[in-house]
Structure 1
C-alpha cells in the first residue's frame, strides 16, 4: 500500500467536510495522534478496552478484505472485530476461499457476537470508485466532482492536493 500523498491534517479536514451534515458520525482521531506506526489492531485493542461489551465492526471494501492477511497482526484484527465486507465492482472472491475466510463466514451464521471472528457481506449500492482511483484522476488533472462531495473537491483544489489541480 502506498503512503498517503496528503498530510494527516488535510485528510482529517476532508473527512470533517464530507461528514459535516452526518450528525450520527463521529471521527475518531486516535490513529493520527499516535506516535510511530499506527496499525488497525492497536486501535481495535484500545476500542475493545473502552467498550468491552460492545460488538466492534470493521467495514472494508472487498479489495481490502482480500488483503487482510497482509495486515500487521491480522489474526488479532479478526479476533477483535467482525468484518463487514462491501462488494466492489471488478473484484470477486477467489476460488477456493481461504480457510480463515470460510471459518469467519461460518461464525457469521450465529447472531453477532461481542467478540470478533465473524465476516459478513453488507449489501449496499456498489461504489465503483476507490481512493486510489480518485488520487490517480487528480494527478492526471481529471475532475473528481462526481466522485467526492463538492466541498471536498473544492478543498482539494484550494490546497492543491494530489498533484495537478482539478479542472472546473
Structure 2
C-alpha cells in the first residue's frame, strides 16, 4: 500500500513537471503581465514632458520622474497588468478579477483623493506665500501639488496601458 502511494505521488509530480515544461503560454516572455506593467509605466512617464510641452509650451524633463500629469502612469501600470493577465489566463480567473479590482481602486484614488490632496496643497502654498516674512510658517518649503490626475489623464493612462499589454501579447 505504501509503495503504491509513493508511485502515485511520483507519477503526479512527473506529470505536473512535464505539463509545465510543455506549456509555453501565449508568449515567450517569462512574465507578460509584469513586463507589460513596467513597460506601460515607463512609456507613460516618458510621455509626460512631451504632453507638458504641448500644453504649456515649456519643456520640463523632471516630469519624467514626478507624479501627476498626462498620462497617468499609475493607470497605465494597473491596466496593462490587468489586460496582460486577461490575455494570458483568461478573464474568468481569480488573478484577472484581483487585477481589475486593483486597477479600479488605483484609478479612483488618482482622480479622487490624490487629486483633491494636490488641490489642497496648491491652496496651502498660496496661503503660505501671502504670509508676512516674520510668520513662523512663511519659510516652509512648498508642498507638492501635482499629486493626482484629472479623469482625462486617468483615461489616457488606462488606454495606454491596454495598448502596451495588447502589443506585448501580440508581438511575441
Higher relative contact order by CA 8 Å / sep ≥ 6: 1 or 2? 2
TM superposition score normalised by structure 1? 0.25
Which has the higher Rg, Structure 1 or Structure 2? 2
1 or 2, which has the higher strand percentage? 1
1 or 2, which has the higher helix percentage? 2
